Amino acid sequence: MSRILIIEDEEAIADLEKDYLELSGFEVIIRNDGDDGLQIALSEEFDLIVLDLMLPGLDGFEICKRIREEKNIPIIMVSAKKDDIDKIRGLGLGADDYMTKPFSPSELVARVKAHMARYDRLVGSNQKNNDVIEIRGIRIDKTARRVIVDGVEKAFTGKEFDLLTFLAEHPNHVYTKEELFREIWDMDSIGDIATVTVHIKKIREKIEYDSAKPQYIETIWGVGYRFKV
Amino acid sequence: MSRILIIEDEEAIADLEKDYLELSGFEVIIRNDGDDGLQIALSEEFDLIVLDLMLPGLDGFEICKRIREEKNIPIIMVSAKKDDIDKIRGLGLGADDYMTKPFSPSELVARVKAHMARYDRLVGSNQKNNDVIEIRGIRIDKTARRVIVDGVEKAFTGKEFDLLTFLAEHPNHVYTKEELFREIWDMDSIGDIATVTVHIKKIREKIEYDSAKPQYIETIWGVGYRFKV
DNA sequence: TTTCAATTTATAAATTTTTTATAGAATCAT
DNA sequence: ATGATTCTATAAAAAATTTATAAATTGAAA
């Protein structure tokens, strides 16, 4: 479940926001002044922060700046004054969105959802879910060691799976056969680089529609291979 | 330099936006209808898209959806009707921002900058080993071994890529053909210097607008070549 | 200044070399 | 004994190099 931090001194507003967000399935924590807000924002993990500009203690400007120095999570800044919004926008503090009070709670919910979806889209896909890699029509389940191509499971042998997984985990990066060999095979194993070529061929037979025109694993002539994304 | 695509049928507005964005150092491409806009958005590389909702051809909804299926770049949606903005926000098409016409061009510039900064913050940071050389319209991605000229990827062979990269990494420095040969080819390989000339020609065919009047790789008569910056 | 030869670079095409794809045999491990 | 892995030989593809010729530039002589 996603956790949201609301830093807002007007308790009635904070509670209203909390109610709506909880109805949408979020876990909500409220802090009523700037110092407490910053402290918990830095010490605990949240997925999004709703930050009022006018606060007792540290103000919203400062809190936003300090959070940004350490974290990339989405911040929605809220203010009663339209002028302040324009001002902070210009400051480039790194807030992700700005709302002018009063606003409807459902608009807040919509924006929260949109920001979390974007964050997942940009960061979550690359950084988090380490057990399942999904690129275009291919799904690689690392813990189950299964590969599903356009909905059909294909049988992969050990080395084939390791090689495909390594390439897919580093999309677009070109690796030489030597690098791939060192990466997948035992460091000290003295073997022929040609085995990499053969494994690439085997993988292509399973994932490519036309092995002669590979859509996934591209040959970089004179260099090596890369997983195209 | 960052490239921005504006998909907008009112030419006066598009031109105004373009002027302001160019003053801020962006490269701007305009398309006046939905079909052209989607086509170029998918086939070339941009850093951000400003997308009008009401368009001849495909409408903004559809374009946004289709771009999102393939790319994560920031999209700012623009509409004359406040109601439409609320509507698309609810649809969750994956746009990154929404602006209601009329808006000031400087507000657009501010938002563009903010979105690009965030995109870099989120994506640029986790895509490590991001060594990219960027000079005027040319982007060279060393790990992916890809070259993008004015937003269009060009296929480079091994030696061509190495030679271009070396020159671009040492802009303005004049190298003789002998020096380039020693640098790119194996030290001891005894070969004809003429192959350098031929490779320069091949590279120029791919990056120069007019190969007879090269803008990037300049011939220094009687001496060698240099990458002009 | 003009002209012409010498030199250098550009270009296109032919040739050679290098690299990869592929199939099948041999080997290895379970 | 079976299937995975590695090795080998050959075919195919791609790139690098060479060669021949054209075009451009320079410098010297008329």
pLDDT at position B65, please? 93
The two three-digit tokens of residue B99, written as one number: 């602006």
pLDDT confidence bin for A160, thresholds 50/70/90: very high
* 3-class SS string, A136-156: CCEEEECCCCEEEECCEEECC
Rounded to whole angstroms, the Cα distance separating A113 from B176 reads 58
More confident residue, A203 or B69: A203
Q: pLDDT tens across A108-118, in order?
A: 998 999 899 88
Rounded to whole angstroms, the Cα distance separating A162 from A168 reads 10
Domains and CATH numbers, chain A: 3-127 (3.40.50.2300), 132-227 (1.10.10.10)
Quote the percentage of chain A above a pLDDT of 70: 95
pLDDT confidence bin for B126, thresholds 50/70/90: low
Q: Which residues of B213-223 are buried (b: 16+ CB within 10 A; e: fewer)?
A: ebebbeeeeee
Rounded to whole angstroms, the Cα distance separating A219 from A195 reads 15
In the sheet with B132-135, reading across from the earlier edge strand, the strands are: B132-135, B138-141, B146-149, B152-154
Best of A100, A120, A122 to mutate (most B CBs within 10 Å, chain B): A122
Name every chain A residue with its beta carbon within 8 A of the beta carbon of B127. Answer: 126
Residue A73 scores a pLDDT above 70: yes
What sign does the dihedral B92-A18-A108-A68 (CA atoms) show? negative
Find tokens 């859509």 and name the residue: A215
Residues linked to residue B140 through DSSP beta bridges, in sequence order: B133, B147
Which residues have CB under 8 Å from B100's CB, separation 6+? B78, B79, B80, B81, B82, B85
Q: pLDDT tens across B7-44, in order?
A: 999 999 999 999 999 999 999 999 999 999 999 999 99
pLDDT at position A40, please? 96
Q: Cα distance from B72 to chain A (closest Cα, Å)?
A: 7
Distance in Å from D8's C1' to A197's CA comes to 13
Find tokens 């599903």 and name the residue: A148
Nearest to A123 among B92, B122, B144 (CB): B122
Name every chain B residue with its beta carbon within 8 A of the beta carbon of A226. Answer: 144-145
Q: pLDDT tens across B143-176, in order?
A: 999 999 999 999 999 999 999 999 999 999 999 9
Residue A186 scores a pLDDT above 80: no
Q: Cα distance from B117 to chain A (closest Cα, Å)?
A: 8
